Amino acid sequence: MEDMNIVIVGHVDHGKSTVVGRLLADTDSLPEGRLEQVRETCKRNAKPFEYAFLLDALKDEQAQGITIDAARCFFKTRLRNYMIIDAPGHVEFLKNMVTGASRAEAALLVIDAAEGIRENTRRHGYLLSMLGIRQVAVLVNKMDLVAYDRLRFEKTVQEYADFLKRIGIIPSAYIPTSGMEGDNIARHSANTPWFTGRTVLEELDHFQSSKPPVSQPFRMPVQGVYKFTRKGDNRRIIAGTIESGRLQAGEEVVFYPSGKTSRVRTLEGFNRETPQCLEAGWAAGFTLEEQIYVKRGDLVCKAGEPRPRVTSRVKVNLFWLGKEPLVPKKEYVLKLGTAKMGFRIEEIVRVLDAATLQAGKRDWVARHEVAECILKLKKAIAFDQAWELAQTGRFVIVDRYEIAGGGIVDEALEEQPAPLRERLPLRHEPGEKSVILPEERAERYNQRATLIVITGPEGVGKQTLARALEKKLFEEGKIVYFWGTGNVLSGASADLGKSANNRRPEQLRRMTEVARILLDAGVILIITAAELSPEDLAAIRTVIEAGRIETVWVGEEGGDSGYDLQIPAVNSEETAVGAVKELLQDRGVIFKAW
């Protein structure tokens, strides 16, 4: 039998818990004796029995450590095993859908026939639409309270259908139900002879089960990197849940946003035999032939398949749930897959009331409103646009350690034009090129002119390494120069104000222009800079060819700039210098005897 995840949503007191309790009871999915036990408890307390109490009983079991999860109820029909996710609020709903392991393929949306459509009813409909859940059945519940009035049912259907149509949802069915009385839940009701459609259980079985997206490009957000040392085990396993595609040993993988590549050495499974192939839906891992630095938040893809988007600017549709309005100048945290990144609102394009669908232009987004926004992330991340691949295009927003919103990535935007790229056309071509070719200088100096960029967090020994490297290469007869950050600030960038908005990019531009001149002169130039981003390196490469740059990241964490070498700590100058020197020899920058 196949499995299917269902989410049930609806306004408070519209009868979700009663419907779920009835589904559990009518499919004999409750623990043995539980129904009778709850009935007896109600009788002793002189309370009328309600099916919603079954969920309370299951919560009690959960609190006692028993394995039943009241937020995720299980039942089965003749066709499928179902897991029904009870989403009591917007936050839980978003969390379940975006970050939870169990994502719903279909939804039951419950409306109270007596009370009618509420604002939350419309908001839930909008959330379903935004998150891409297209299989929806609407239950007009508590029909017993309106004497099974057909006109009341049809009026509710007409009103809500008009709303859903505007947001692109066409429900597969509208079903008049009474969770309390069991009307049209598991059996057709004699109280609604005018209704000839399917019951709730029949409608569930009528939903199409979505298959794992194995035919889509391979995507696996890196959950962690695990090392084993016992009994000589030296495996370094890249682990995560595969969102789409499939992977086999021997295939080349690419880690974004860095773009670093390696080849899969072995596939690894947890508590199972070594698989021949990893597929979408698996929590699994693999090892690499060439060890490269990989971290949580990277997105693993396969070489030769469509690439994910990598940028620090995205246009999104988001649903805001925070108590305080979403505003442009405040910093928030975006969680997309396993990536986590700070961001600010660059622009609120438009604001939409999810209940009324009225749109407007404002500088803030209030609670329960939907907005189209442009986000500026602190660094580039890898993702897919939701319309291309929903699994890696959904996100949540965290404000002060709480989930305050969520949404989908609608469009990957170009980075803001980097000053270097922007001003490159303004740079005058050298009026007079040297008559000495770069190859002639390389032969004469016995070295290849190269820019060595040493980057990483503050206080990790970047300058110490740079100075020691300069000294070592000089003693070996190389034409080498270390141009420290202080020299840049007090020299080429001395006229830049400390508070100027473009200080860093302009400083980078000037440094790169000077570096280009020194490379033309045949020098090995060493520079240091704090935490250069992929955008910074890309900007440098607009002036200096990538083949003339070697990057060294110093520090344990970070290093998503696509560096050539990582040195976790400069504990020994000799060892660190030796590692860089070996890199230069391997790349042919300096001579290696044998």
- In the chain, where are the structural domains located? 2-206, 219-302, 311-412, 438-587
Helix then strand count (H, E) for the chain reads 14, 26
Please give the structure tokens belonging to residue 292.
């490269």
Classify strands 106-112 and 2-10 as parallel, antiparallel or unpaired. parallel
How high is the pLDDT of residue 489?
66
Q: Within 10 A of 43 (CB to CB), how many other CB atoms are there?
A: 11
Residue 504, token pair as written in the block: 């860093």
Read off the pLDDT of each residue in 131-147 and give the average, rounded to a whole number.
Answer: 92
Question: Is 50 exceeded by the pLDDT of residue 18?
Answer: yes
Determine the Cα–Cα distance for residues 126 and 143; give it in Å rounded to an integer.
24
Omega of the bond prior to 176 within 30 degrees of 0, cis? Answer: no
| Residue 428 pLDDT class (50, 70, 90 cuts) | very low
Bridge partners for 348 per DSSP: 373
Q: Does the pLDDT value for residue 496 go beyond 80?
A: no
What would the mean pLDDT of 121-137 be, rounded to a whole number? 87
Query: According to the model, what pLDDT value does residue 68 have?
Result: 38
What mean pLDDT is reported for the chain? 84
Task: Quote the CA–CA distance of 546 and 543 in Å, as a whole number.
Answer: 9
User: How confident is residue 116, by pLDDT bands cut at 50, 70 and 90?
Assistant: very high
Write out the two tokens for 480: 């080498």
Rg over CA atoms, the chain:
30
Q: Compute the Cα dihedral for 122, 128, 134, 138 and give only its sign.
A: negative
Condensed to tens digits (0 to 9), the pLDDT of residues 232-276 reads: 777 889 999 999 999 999 999 998 887 778 899 999 877 777 788
**Would you state the structure tokens that stand for residue 156, as one six-digit string?**
């509710």
369 touches 355 (CB < 8 A)? no
Class of 219-302 in CATH? mainly beta
Q: What average pLDDT does the segment 79-103 reach?
A: 67
Write out pLDDT tens, residues 206-217: 999 877 789 999
pLDDT above 90: residue 172: yes
**Would you say the CATH fold of 438-587 matches that of 219-302?**
no
Q: If you average pLDDT over residues 390-402, what whole number do you get?
A: 89
3-state secondary structure of 187: strand
- Residue 364 phi/psi, 5-degree rounding, is -150, 165
pTM of the model: 0.66
Q: pLDDT-based confidence at 70, cuts 50/70/90?
A: very low
pLDDT band at 170 (very low <50, low <70, confident <90, very high): very high
Q: What is the largest CA-CA distance in the chain?
A: 102
User: Of the given ranges (21-30, 52-61, 66-75, 295-304), which has the lowest mean pLDDT?
Assistant: 66-75
| Residue whose pair of structure tokens reads 């399917």 in the numeric block | 198
Q: How confident is the model at residue 142 (pLDDT cuts 50, 70, 90)?
A: very high
Q: Are 360 and 291 in contact (CB under 8 A)?
A: no
- Collect all residues with Cβ–Cβ distance below 8 Å to 408 and sequence separation of at least 6: 130, 131, 132, 316, 317, 386, 390, 393, 394, 395
Q: Do residues 546 and 558 touch, judged by C-beta distance below 8 A? A: no
pLDDT band at 150 (very low <50, low <70, confident <90, very high): very high
Nearest Cα neighbor of 299 from 254, 268, 351 is 254
Mean pLDDT of 28-35: 79
**pLDDT for the residue 437:** 82
| pLDDT value, residue 251 | 94
Q: Give the pLDDT confidence score for residue 216 in this predicted structure.
A: 92
Q: At what angle do helices 573-586 and 462-475 cross, to 10 degrees?
A: 60
Query: What is the per-residue pLDDT across 513-568, written as a single tens digit (0 to 9) for each?
Result: 888 889 989 999 999 988 787 667 777 776 777 678 898 989 876 555 567 888 88
| Residue 93, pLDDT score | 66
Could you report how far apart the first and last alpha carbons of the chain are, in Å?
Answer: 63
Distance from C-alpha of 522 to C-alpha of 567, rounded to nearest angstrom:
26
pLDDT recorded at residue 423: 54
* Residue positions counted in the chain: 594
Fold type of domain 438-587: Rossmann fold (3.40.50)
Q: How far is CA 130 from its chain centroid?
A: 16
Q: Does 6 have pLDDT greater than 60?
A: yes
Choose between 86 and 12: higher pLDDT: 12
As a whole number of angstroms, the distance between CA 44 and CA 39 comes to 9
pLDDT digits (tens, 9 = 90+) for 441-481: 888 999 999 999 999 888 889 999 999 999 999 999 999 99
SS3 of residue 167 by DSSP: coil
Q: Could you write out the DSSP letters of every residue in 384-414? A: --TTT-GGGSEEEEEETTEEEEEEEEEEEPP
pLDDT of 63 strictly over 50: no
- C-alpha to C-alpha distance for 587 and 93, rounded to whole angstroms: 52
Q: What CATH superfamily classification does 2-206 receive? A: P-loop containing nucleotide triphosphate hydrolases (3.40.50.300)
- 311-412: CATH topology: Elongation Factor Tu (Ef-tu); domain 3 (2.40.30)
Residue 171, C-beta contacts closer than 8 angstroms, at least 6 positions apart: 109, 136, 137, 138, 161, 164
Q: Is pLDDT of 417 > 70?
A: no
Give the residue, 434 or 521, on which the prediction is more confident.
521
Question: Contact 30/110 with Cβ under 8 angstroms?
Answer: no
**Of the segments 36-40, 259-263, 393-397, 508-512, which one has the largest average pLDDT value?**
393-397
> What is the structure's pLDDT at 318?
92
Token couple for 142: 């508590």
Exposure b/e, 541-560, CB count within 10 A at least 16 = b: bbbbeeebbbbbbbbeebbb
Closest CA to 88 of 7, 175, 177, 204: 7
**Average pLDDT, integer, range 299-306:** 93
The yes-or-no verdict on residue 353 having pLDDT over 80 is yes
> 334 or 105, which is more confident?
334
